[in-house]
Amino acid sequence: MKTYAVHVGYCSQYDPDRVEEALLRGLENVRLERPLTGRIVIKPNLVMAHPAIATEGYTRPEVTEAVLRLIGRRGRSVRSIDIVEKSGLGVTTASMFRWAGYRELARRYPIRLHAMEEGKKSVVVLNRGRVHRHVTVARPMAERDFLIFIPKLKTNVLSHGYSGALKLNIGTVDGRERIAHHHRDLPVKVVDLLEAANPDLIVTDGIRMAFGGNQMTQGGGDVGVLVVSTNAVAHDMVCCRLLNLDPSRIPHIREAMDRGYGPASFSQIRITGDARVRDVQAVTRKYHSGFMPVEKFPCAFKIVSGEPLCIGGCHGIFLDWLHMVKDRKPKLLRRFPRLTAVIGKTDRRIGDGRVLLVGSCASASPNIRSKRIVRIKGCPPTHKRIVWDMMVRYFLLAPLVRPSLIIDGFVLYPLKKIKGWLVNL
């Protein structure tokens, strides 16, 4: 029976020297299964970074710098190093590279920053895909020899409270492919994408952890660990344990276990390193994931949850929007108008006052009688759509509604997409 090593090592400072030491200690216990050579691709988590309102939920550059030093030490015949990313919320990845400090890294190391929406892409056929038969990924990703994931240790209400190496794969696809099946099929989609981007090395930034709210805007707390592994499933199972979560109850991890991408149980995992799991658990026990049924979120909205239950879709994305407000503008929660928000299709009779229908299924609810209905379309609606519609329909300005991000999302982003379209002609 194959066993998988996962190293959990202490590292308490965002100092590249300290992180590099911790990483080298990790690689004494976790042996690389493939040579660190040729075209190397690094995928961090830069879904959103902003100096004022998204300060904790991304991979810090000091950790990526330690990985770059490792490549310098251990790499053989390295031809190229690409840092590939696609940010979230329909803003430019170039801005995330800048705000997260990766432009500065690119000045000091021989790397290329590849923003997926404006760079060359390739189609990859998925022979084992269940909801995707093929996907379009960044060309360096398709042509790589070695892939390194550097996730952030953080919670995410779209994936039952945990985001890690497997979920990082959502950032390897773009546009319609990214939102397709981003509903109750999300666990299957995440595992399908492994065929196109299964990392050879995973180094998780757990020096500080982001928790308790929206995946982009939530706050953080010290944990002081670096997690190193060569298998994404084993890595995520151990990280769940560090967060006092049961990985078999996280559907995308369960799906990956069942489809044979890693260990089927903890008996196949050997946890090494100088950080004791129970000590880390004692720290993270204070940090709530923020994952809850959306109708239980405390606010002035009356929220009705219908069918299907889409944690990765309407239910999770609307909960994520509520968390975004709570994270950075909690006073706004008290100014919410009285309305009934329907998520998913329901047979309940809803007839009084204002009604908000989130997603296509909610619009198919047969017993809604109100003259003041607002529909947010999509299956699911994107974060950007919810932020925009809640702003223009109810004057609820989410914290991410800022001039810099509006220009970025509505002016620069379309231009970058046009550039991407042209270079891929």
In whole angstroms, the minimum distance from the beta carbon of 199 to ligand SF4 comes to 28
Q: Using the minimum distance from each CB to ligand SF4, give the nearer residue, 152 or 323.
A: 323
DSSP 120-152: -EEEEE-TT-SS-SEEEEEHHHHT-SEEEEE-E
Q: What is the dihedral of CA 43, 48, 51, 53, to 10 degrees?
A: -150
Nearest 10 degrees: Cα torsion 355, 88, 234, 287: -60
Q: How far is the CB of 187 from ligand SF4 (least distance, A)?
A: 14
User: 153 or 310, CB closer to ligand SF4?
Assistant: 310
Distance, CA of 219 to CA of 200 (rounded, Å): 30
What minimum distance in Å lies between the beta carbon of 295 and ligand SF4?
14
Enter the tokens of residue 94: 């170039």
- Indicate the residue among 366 and 403 with the shorter CB distance to ligand SF4: 366
C-beta separation of 369 from 351 below 8 A: yes
Q: At what angle do helices 251-258 and 232-242 cross, to 10 degrees?
A: 140
Question: Which residues in this chain contact ligand SF4 in the complex, by CB under 6 A?
Answer: 183, 308, 310, 313-314, 344, 359-361, 379-380
Of residues 158 and 232, the one with the C-beta less far from ligand SF4: 158
- Quote the CA–CA distance of 171 and 156 in Å, as a whole number: 14
Q: Specify the residue, 268 or 363, whose C-beta has the smaller distance to ligand SF4.
A: 363
Task: Return the exposure string of 78-111: e unless at least 16 CB atoms fall within 10 Å of the residue's CB, then b.
Answer: beebbbbbbbbbbbbbbbbbebbebeebeeeeeb
- Minimum distance between the CB of residue 88 and ligand SF4, rounded to whole angstroms? 17
**Distance in Å, CB of 311 to ligand SF4, minimum:** 9
Question: From the CB of 309, what's the least distance to ligand SF4, in Å?
Answer: 8
Using CB positions, name the residue nearest to ligand SF4. Answer: 313
Distance between CA 292 and CA 98 in Å, rounded? 33
Q: How far is Cα 317 from Cα 356, in angstroms, rounded to an integer?
A: 15
Q: Which CB sits closer to ligand SF4, 180 or 283? A: 180
Residue ranges of the alpha helices (H) in 335-412?
360-363, 383-394, 403-407
CB of 179 to ligand SF4, least distance (A): 10
308 versus 414: smaller Cβ distance to ligand SF4: 308
Pairing of strands 134-138, 121-125: antiparallel
CA torsion through residues 213, 407, 179, 40, sign: negative
CB of residue 348 to ligand SF4, shortest distance in Å: 15
Nearer to ligand SF4, 96 or 294 (CB): 294
